[in-house]
Amino acid sequence: MRRLILLGVLVATMWGPAVAGAGWQEDWEQTLKAAREEGKVTVTGPTGAHRRDALTQGFEKKYGIAVEYFAARGSAVAARISYERRAGQYLWDVMVGGATTALTSMIPIGALDPLEPDLILPEVKKPENWRGGELQFVDSGREMFLMTLTQNDSLFVNSKLIEPKEITSYKDLLNPKWKGKIVADDPRRPGPGNSVFNFFDMHPDLGPDFIRALARQELLILRDYQQELDMIGQGKYSILIGTSASTAESWVQRGLPIAIVNPHDLKEGSDINPQAGAVALMNRRPHPNATKIYINWLLSKDGQTAFARATGYISSRLDVPVDHAPWRVPIPGAIKTYTLEAMNNQKKLMRVLTEAFSR
């Protein structure tokens, strides 16, 4: 008997890890077979053909499972899903978008499931593959996963008029020479301008007094990204605060005289945000097996590389290249503008903005 016990211990020691390692492979194959029988996975995600292609084509080519994709802004996605669920329809498997949609709409109506139980691939589950040594979620229920955390592009300049490194602090914008030379995306509505000004308000070295002083610089407030960039691109204005990063980058690539000020060169940095790079799994999803295969692919090195390059974001995976936008690599300790705390700060911010820009 003792010999049998010792033999069992020896076998477990020699083969235990291999047997355990084989367990996920069996689970994977069974799930993949069932996923192919389901035939498709339904995904809501951000607008833009480049984003849609990154979230669909690689997966479809690799696994032969179709992706039904609905592209819309987060508010439209939330409204549609809420309406469908009230009608007893559960049509969507995966949601890719901003953290705000999850925190303000999807989580309050109980539309999401915890994500980790659907993870199978060891490379996805391994904490050391992710920034901070952990899988990071926006919520305590671990439902909305932060697959990208990106340093926000907050300042843009006409590169013929200003050397980007000339600005080393946001307080440099208060220099009298920039009065009447600054345009800003309207911070009083949801969007990049609002995110930047919320960062200003939350930063201990800036705050409401800085916003009030900045308003006295006679900012031109606009609500159209193309018009904002055109203002500095033509040299009518020198500095732009907050605009669509993807639109700005496309203008830079076209050779227009627009430069993004590197947040790493600014004393106060900038805020950190997942942009449209948070992902969640819907509950009561119609294609549970295809969902498992999809989320594991999306969070794999291949899936994250495709998404990061298409969006310009920085993946939370440490093994995904950042050469496409090194200035967006997260700065340790950066202010987070995607949390509930940041969202709750909006009421205070709106009071400051109303006071500052009502003159």
Express as a percent the part of the chain with pLDDT over 90.
Answer: 84
pLDDT digits (tens, 9 = 90+) for 117-147: 999 999 999 999 999 999 999 999 999 999 9
Query: What average pLDDT does this structure show over 186-202?
Result: 93
The overall average pLDDT reported for the chain is 92
Instruction: Provide φ and ψ at 154, rounded to 5°.
Output: -110, -30
Assign residue 64 a region: left if phi > 0, alpha if psi is -120 to 50, beta otherwise? left
Position 18 pLDDT exceeds 70 = no
DSSP string covering 131-200, please? Answer: GGGS--BSSTTS-SEESB-EE---EEEETTT--GGG--SGGGGGSGGGTT-EEEE-TTSSSHHHHHHHHH
Position 5 pLDDT exceeds 80 = no
For the chain, the domains span 22-150+274-328, 153-270+339-357
Question: Which band of pLDDT confidence, cut at 50, 70 and 90, is reported for residue 16?
Answer: very low
Which residues on neighbouring strands pair with residue 220, listed in sequence order?
183
Cα(194)–Cα(100) distance, integer angstroms: 13
At the topology level, CATH places domain 22-150+274-328 in: D-Maltodextrin-Binding Protein; domain 2 (3.40.190)
Contact 184, 262 (CB under 8 A): no
Residue 21: predicted pLDDT: 52
Residue 2: predicted pLDDT: 45
Tracing tokens 């060169």 back to the chain, one arrives at 265
Q: Give the helix, strand, coil percentages of the chain, each rounded to 5.
A: 50, 15, 35
Position 14 pLDDT exceeds 50 = no
pLDDT digits (tens, 9 = 90+) for 58-67: 999 999 999 9
The 10 Å Cβ neighbour count of residue 90 is 16
Position 9 pLDDT exceeds 90 = no
As a dihedral over the C-alpha atoms of residue 266, residue 269, residue 270, residue 274, rounded to 10 degrees, the angle is 130
Here the tokens at position 94 are: 């995966």
The kind and range of the H/E element at 13 are helix 2-38
At the topology level, CATH places domain 153-270+339-357 in: D-Maltodextrin-Binding Protein; domain 2 (3.40.190)
Position 4 pLDDT exceeds 50 = no
- Identical fold at 22-150+274-328 and 153-270+339-357? yes
Per DSSP, the three-state class of 276 is coil
Residue 137: predicted pLDDT: 96
Residue 15: predicted pLDDT: 40
Cα(78)–Cα(332) distance, integer angstroms: 32
Residue 359: predicted pLDDT: 62
Query: What average pLDDT does this structure show over 189-218?
Result: 95
Position 168 pLDDT exceeds 60 = yes
Half-sphere exposure of 11 (CA within 13 A, CB side): 7
Tell me which of 102 and 2 has the higher pLDDT: 102
Tell me which of 257 and 74 has the higher pLDDT: 257
E-assigned strands of 102-236? 112-113, 145-146, 150-151, 155-158, 182-185, 220-222
Contact 147, 304 (CB under 8 A): yes
Contact 275, 310 (CB under 8 A): no
Position 57 pLDDT exceeds 70 = yes
pLDDT digits (tens, 9 = 90+) for 252-292: 989 999 999 999 999 999 999 998 999 999 999 999 999 99
Query: What average pLDDT does this structure show over 177-196?
Result: 94
